[in-house]
């Protein structure tokens, strides 16, 4: 690795047994200002700033008492929630192992497991007023398939949110380019007072990810 003449950018040299693709990934990581900022500020991933930027725009963290983080690994979103909500109960779930986070309960299990919803609510100690979902399916390299698989996770996250949220609560979920499909948008609008799509600045320009921000849960009796 070497620095350019300006002393700011790290240039990654292709090494033996390192593919061109991995070299490009390493170059991007080393020169990403969000990666550098995350290391400096103690966040586990640059994804923390996606949640920070979304919250600065929509203000869904303010006053929140109970948070569920679906797809918590590696823990950046939960770290943001904990720092901004020092008194809130926070529970996360992921198939991947996640290092402990102070005062955050982490369930190492599949969210699609039938037992997951009850386990989450039991650990949380009551109904959440915020459900976060940064879940994405493992990619197979086929854009349409990858988008459909991730959309299925968003739909599962929304179904969970509608089943458990406190009235007035919010749901934040990852979708892909074009946002949520029409059926999902219709379901969101049936259940929430406002539904917006946003691509936070921390989301890479070349990434197809967007987020849906649904606020003001109407309550189950209103949408039954």
What are the pLDDT digits (tens) for 52-78? 999 999 999 999 999 999 999 999 999
Binding residues for S-adenosyl-L-methionine: 75, 77, 94, 110, 134
> Where does residue 196 fall: left (phi above 0), alpha (psi -120 to 50 degrees), or beta otherwise?
beta
Read off the tokens for 73: 């690994």
Q: Residue 4 above 50 pLDDT?
A: no
CA angle 192–193–195, rounded 5-degree value: 70
Q: What is the mean pLDDT of residues 150-176?
A: 93
Residue that wins the pLDDT comparison between 126 and 224: 126
Residues in the chain, total: 224
More confident residue, 110 or 220: 110
22-26 mean pLDDT = 50
Active-site annotation holds for 218: no
**Average pLDDT over every residue of 86-105:** 97
Q: What does the domain layout of the chain look like in residue ranges?
A: 2-31, 45-223
Mean pLDDT score across all residues of the chain? 85
pLDDT of residue 161: 98
For residue range 126-146, list pLDDT tens digits in order: 999 999 999 876 665 666 666
- Tell me which of 3, 13, 39, 174 is the catalytic residue: 174
| pLDDT classification of 85: cutoffs 50, 70, 90 | very high
pLDDT digits (tens, 9 = 90+) for 182-200: 889 999 999 999 999 999 9
pLDDT > 70: what percent of the chain? 78
Binding-site residues: 75, 77, 94, 110, 134
Question: At the top level of CATH, which class does the domain 45-223 belong to?
Answer: alpha beta
Supply the DSSP symbol for 101: B
């Amino acid at each position: 690795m070497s620095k350019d003449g300006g002393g700011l950018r790290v240039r990654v040299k292709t090494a033996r047994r390192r593919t061109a693709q991995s070299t490009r990934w390493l170059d991007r990581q080393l020169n990403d200002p969000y990666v550098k900022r995350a290391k400096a500020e103690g966040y586990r991933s640059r994804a923390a700033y996606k949640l920070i930027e979304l919250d600065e725009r929509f203000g869904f963290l303010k006053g929140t008492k109970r948070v569920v983080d679906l797809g918590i690994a590696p823990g950046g979103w939960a770290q943001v929630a904990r720092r901004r909500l020092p008194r809130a109960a926070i529970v996360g779930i992921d198939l991947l192992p996640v290092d402990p986070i102070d005062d955050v309960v982490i369930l190492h299990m599949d969210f699609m497991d039938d037992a997951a919803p009850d386990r989450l609510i039991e650990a949380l100690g009551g109904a959440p007023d915020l459900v976060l979902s940064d879940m994405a399916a493992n990619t197979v390299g086929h854009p349409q398939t990858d988008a459909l698989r991730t959309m299925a996770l968003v739909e599962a996250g929304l179904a969970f949110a509608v089943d458990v949220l406190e009235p007035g609560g919010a749901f934040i979920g990852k979708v892909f380019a074009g946002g949520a499909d029409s059926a999902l948008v219709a379901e969101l609008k049936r259940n929430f007072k406002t539904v917006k799509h946003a691509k936070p600045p921390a989301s890479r320009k070349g990434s197809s990810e967007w987020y849906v921000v649904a606020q003001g849960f109407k309550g189950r009796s209103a949408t039954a």
